[in-house]
Amino acid sequence: MTNDVRAAAQRMYAAFNAHDHDAAQNIFTADFYSHPLGTTGPDSVVHAWRRLHETFPEAHVTVEDMVVEGDTAAVRTRVHGVPGQQSPMMLEFFRVRDGRISELWGLSSLQRS
């Protein structure tokens, strides 16, 4: 299970960094739920990623720490390519089911205007 969870996280961050929005369909479950956004489904991820990349085309994340236990991961990342901010940090927790991310919680120090 641990390897599946780690692999799902790596696929998610690689797809985000590559602007491969369509990959979300294979990374997130059909009933995926984002607690921070209050949205459901992989299309909600595609929408959020596209909005972020349209606003910050150079945005990408680097994983600083990842802790995996059972079907859950806690990941601390830094966001790069956001002008006017010193590498904001994100802390995300997510649950994986059948090799795909099914639920996500997160906190971010990214300042929104």
pLDDT tens profile 9-46: 999 999 999 999 999 999 999 999 999 999 999 999 99
The single-letter DSSP state of residue 21 is G
For the four alpha carbons of 49, 37, 111 and 95, in that order, the dihedral sign comes to: negative
Residue extents of the structural domains in the chain: 2-108
- Looking at CATH, the fold of the domain delimited by 2-108 is given as Nuclear Transport Factor 2; Chain: A, (3.10.450)
Question: Is the separation of the CB atoms in 76 and 65 below 8 Å?
Answer: yes
> Would the pTM count as exceeding 0.85?
yes
Instruction: Check whether 113 has a pLDDT greater than 70.
Output: no
Contact 5, 73 (CB under 8 A): yes
Q: Is the pLDDT of residue 111 over 70?
A: no
